[in-house]
Amino acid sequence: MRVPVPEVLLPADQLGRVHFVGIGGAGLSGIARIMLARGITVSGSDAKESRTLEALRALGARCHVGHAADQVRDAETLVVSTAVREDNPEVVEAHERGLRILPRSAALESVMQGRRVIAVAGTHGKTTTTSLLTVALQHCGADPSFAIGGELNESGSNAHDGSGDVFVAEADESDGAFLVYSPHGAIVTNVEADHLDNWGTEEAYHEAFTQFLDRIDDDGFLVACADDAGAADLVDQARAKGMSVVAVGEAAGADLRAEGLTFVGSTSTFTVIDRGRRLGEIALQIPGRHYVLDALAALAAGLRLGFSFADLKRGLEAFTGTRRRMELKGQVGGVRVYDSYAHHPNEITGDLQAARALAGDGRVVVAFQPHLVSRTRLFGAGMGRALGAADEVVVMDVYVAREDPEPGVDGKLVAAHVPLPDDRVVFVPSWSATPAALVERARPGDLVLTLGAGDVTLVGPEVLELLAERETADVEGGPGADEDR
């Protein structure tokens, strides 16, 4: 549901007792975590139990499984996820009682007030870039606050209330949330049409990023990727406004450039050139060109904040990733299983390039779950074409999330556009049949990758279990097995 942003946004300590509807989600759980750290009374509800709810309870939140009107009986402010429907009993009760109701964006703005905010926006790469900048600043001794749409491997957390004056926030454009914030500095990784279920047209989507420029402080700065046409256009607009801009990328016109990119296994190495001056070499522990560009943007923001290249380099090189971003789930029988959040054609392309580097001489076997009916309708053919970079592809049905199913818009639409022989592409409409379909295709030396923003992330552990069963069966059924019995 869409909740209007109040004209006056109160700081978090003036919101009273806060109840989160959808508290287990990546966005709301992070805000709740920060409020708890500040001593604010927090409660919330979610559709199912999760380790996120367990962690919030340990911090002092009262968390419910399921939604009921009496769960908001003592709340003064309700924070609502965009995935929640208007007939949710807690939302209905809040309206009847006249409670203050906030969207996620307003709640995040309330905890960011009084801090120097660095907002990380863009169609792709927001979570990784926000995470890279956060870890880099931590290695500079800055102790920034942060709110990220994923969990850092280093801390296992998606948010933190730091002691420093910098607040690093992932600024989501999907529902216009980033237009609520007033950052000191901003990073824009790229601008490519997405979330047209909200914006309607590609032009409106791009216009939102133009409006985002006006949210940046007059004495602040913009970091944007010169390699991306949409972000490069923002660079031109910002410079025309007289803003302080750092363009990053491999492009000749970039202020901060990456040169000599090399990818070996899970390592990405590149040299940093600052307006013709060599700063040094950085070796990331994450694979892929798109992660190099994310790291370069984080580096530029850190330098603009006044931190040294040496300290920022140390942090970037220490970064080990974020959950669901090319995350290694395990290895059994010579098969490695990774999971990633990619759900847009360009994200799929980037992660498959990284997977190819990781796989070495092995093959890349992918399970892809399309996310949202509207996105699949618009980009399904492009998703299929991007999946052609794999060796074997299993396409699952659409994870409908907040939308309703639509005839003809399903995983079969995506599978039909994968440019691979028919025996190497299969549409598996049953979620429970997907792990077996992957194991059937995987052989020692291969890399299995589960892709998508839905519950495909749960497939990897089941694949590992089936691989272990297969390995045990192979051993028991090998030469001499009958004699041993």
Do β-strands 277-284 and 267-274 pair in parallel, antiparallel, or remain unpaired?
antiparallel
DSSP labels, 368-426? E--B-HHHHHHHHHHHHHHHTTSSEEEEE--B-TTS---TT-SHHHHHTT--S-GGGEE
CB 209 within 8 A of CB 224: no
Residue 123 catalytic? no
Residue 329 catalytic? no
Do β-strands 145-147 and 159-160 pair in parallel, antiparallel, or remain unpaired?
antiparallel
d(CA 153, CA 451): 19
Write phi, then psi, for 218 (nearest 5 degrees): -60, -35
Catalytic residue among 109, 126, 130, 317: 126
Sequence-distant (≥ 6) Cβ neighbours of residue 22 within 8 angstroms: 28, 44, 45, 46, 80, 81, 83, 84
d(CA 241, CA 334): 55
Identity of the amino acid at 333: G
Residue 126 catalytic? yes
d(CA 448, CA 129): 25
Sign of CA dihedral 374, 457, 367, 432: negative
Catalytic residue among 90, 151, 170, 317: 170
Catalytic residue among 77, 82, 123, 127: 127
DSSP 8-state assignment for residue 442: -
d(CA 315, CA 188): 21
Residue 249: both structure tokens together = 């990328």
The C-alpha R_g of the chain, in whole angstroms, comes to 23
CB 214 within 8 A of CB 243: no
Catalytic residues: 126-127, 170
